[in-house]
């Protein structure tokens, strides 16, 4: 079973567990070797606490893509264990994997919207796929787009959006199930520096409102600029685990001055379907 009382980082500093704090995800000596002999992940152990924001940094061949796929059960481990809420992912039956994935929102580097559908129709399509009741689709779409400051983009087609707006829409789509965890796969890779900063500020604000966020990135400088914990990968191993500065309250987090585009209403959005919250 994973450790629950304390989290120990690479520098052997111990952070006491606070009330309500626990490890949402924990990797325990995870190894992934592909059939061709490639050792993509080699003995990786780390945890992500509930409500934490973590940057996972690495260049090509560092193993971060495989790590993301392991988190999403797109790949299975060769050895070692991965836990979600202290439950081993290896115990999830294949037919129930979709239930686990609905607890996670994924922000992809490249947009996943259909080019010939408006933003509104793209969201309606995604929400129907998630079995959202028809009567809830329009108000839920409005809520999601207000969340990221795109309430005026309903009738636009994807190619009418700027790269920044497309990535904001991607974050809104990832929030469709009101997930507990957001995984962002190099969300700023195709953006200019100013737009990249805007996307990261949005993710930081979602984290400040209670969402756990894991960002996979090659951008060391951008990751460091937000003062969050960062794990550095190289050839499938963790070479450094840099802790975030200690803060006593969310109010102590210093963020750049930007418009408050994140609304607290998203935290009270209903689940897509109560029946889908059966045990995984």
Question: Which residues of the chain register pLDDT less than 50?
Answer: 1-20, 248-280
CA distance 182 to 200: 12
Specify the pLDDT at position 221: 87
pTM flag (> 0.75): yes
Specify the pLDDT at position 1: 43
Specify the pLDDT at position 20: 41
279 alpha-carbon distance from chain centroid: 21
Specify the pLDDT at position 225: 86
Structural domains in the chain plus CATH codes: 6-277 (3.40.50.300)
Residue 65, both tokens: 């893509």
For 68-118, give the secondary structure using H, E and C.
HHHHCCCCCCCEEEEEECCEEHHHCCHHHHHHHHCCEEEECCCCCCCCCCC
CA distance 280 to 268: 23
Specify the pLDDT at position 15: 30
The strand pairing partners of 166, in sequence order, are: none
Specify the pLDDT at position 165: 93
């Amino acid at each position: 079973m994973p450790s629950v009382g304390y989290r120990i980082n690479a520098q052997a500093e111990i952070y006491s567990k606070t009330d309500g704090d626990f490890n949402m995800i924990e990797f325990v000596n995870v190894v992934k070797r592909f059939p061709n002999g490639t050792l993509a992940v080699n003995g990786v152990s780390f945890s992500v606490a509930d409500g934490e924001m973590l940057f996972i940094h690495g260049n090509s061949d560092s193993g971060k893509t495989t790590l993301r796929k392991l988190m999403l059960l797109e790949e299975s481990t060769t050895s070692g264990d991965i836990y979600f809420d202290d439950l081993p992912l290896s115990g999830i039956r294949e037919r129930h994997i979709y239930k686990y994935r609905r607890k996670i929102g994924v922000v992809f580097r490249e947009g996943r919207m259909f080019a010939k559908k408006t933003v509104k129709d793209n969201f309606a399509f995604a929400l129907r796929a998630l079995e959202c009741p028809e009567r809830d689709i329009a108000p839920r779409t409005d809520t999601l787009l207000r969340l990221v400051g795109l309430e005026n983009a309903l009738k636009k087609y994807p190619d009418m959006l700027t790269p920044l707006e497309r990535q904001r829409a991607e974050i809104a789509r990832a929030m469709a199930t009101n997930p507990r965890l957001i995984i962002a796969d190099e969300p700023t890779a195709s953006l200019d520096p100013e737009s990249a900063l805007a996307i990261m500020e949005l993710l930081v604000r979602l984290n400040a409102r209670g969402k756990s966020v894991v960002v996979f990135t090659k951008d060391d400088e951008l990751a460091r600029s937000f003062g969050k914990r960062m794990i550095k990968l190289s050839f499938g191993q963790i070479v450094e685990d840099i802790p975030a500065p200690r803060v006593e309250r969310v109010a102590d987090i210093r963020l750049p001055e930007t418009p408050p585009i994140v609304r607290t209403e998203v935290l009270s959005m209903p689940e897509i379907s109560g029946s889908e919250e059966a045990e995984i």
